[in-house]
Amino acid sequence: MALDVGSKTIGLAITDPLKVTVRPLGTLQRENRRDDCQRVLEIAALHHVDKLIIGRPLHLDGRKSDILSVIEGFVSEIARRSNVSIEWVDERLSSKEAEVLMAEAAVAIRDRRKRRNEFAAAVILGRYLEEMK
């Protein structure tokens, strides 16, 4: 399962057991680190997830973005509370790719803003799977 963690939302995406297809799973509204971690871990357990792929936000020049420290704290909380392995994937331009995917999937324009993070998570997961081939 992949996460696109932002300051207000967490986009979720999942792959099939054979790791062939990727699909957006939903978007969680952030509340606080503890509750957000609990909800992510519950969803991961529900889907029998053994690995979380986390999007690492970097600027185009490779510098860390300002939100990265918030995301690292969240990921540290997950690591403390779970045995699920965690890997990071560069998420640069994933939101742009997500926009293209939503257009190709005929997601209504009025729904695209609400679903951008889950589609970005799908892009992140797709990148990870491609790297693993």
pLDDT category at 6 given cuts 50, 70, 90 is confident
pLDDT tens for each residue of 50-89 = 999 999 887 777 777 778 888 899 999 999 999 999 999 9
Q: Identify the structural domains of the chain with CATH numbers, from first to last.
A: 2-132 (3.30.420.140)
Q: What pLDDT sits at residue 90?
A: 85
Q: What pLDDT sits at residue 42?
A: 96
48: phi then psi, degrees, rounded to nearest 5: 55, 45
Q: What pLDDT sits at residue 8?
A: 92
Where does the chain have alpha helices with state H?
A: 33-46, 68-81, 94-104, 109-132
Residue 108 burial (CB count, 10 A) = 9
pLDDT category at 107 given cuts 50, 70, 90 is confident
* pTM, 2 dp: 0.85
pLDDT tens for each residue of 27-53 = 999 999 999 999 999 999 999 999 999
Decide which of 102 and 6 is more confident: 6
User: If DSSP codes are grouped into helix, strand and coil, which group holds residue 98?
Assistant: helix
100, 25 contact by CB (below 8 A): no
Q: What pLDDT sits at residue 15?
A: 94
5, 71 contact by CB (below 8 A): yes
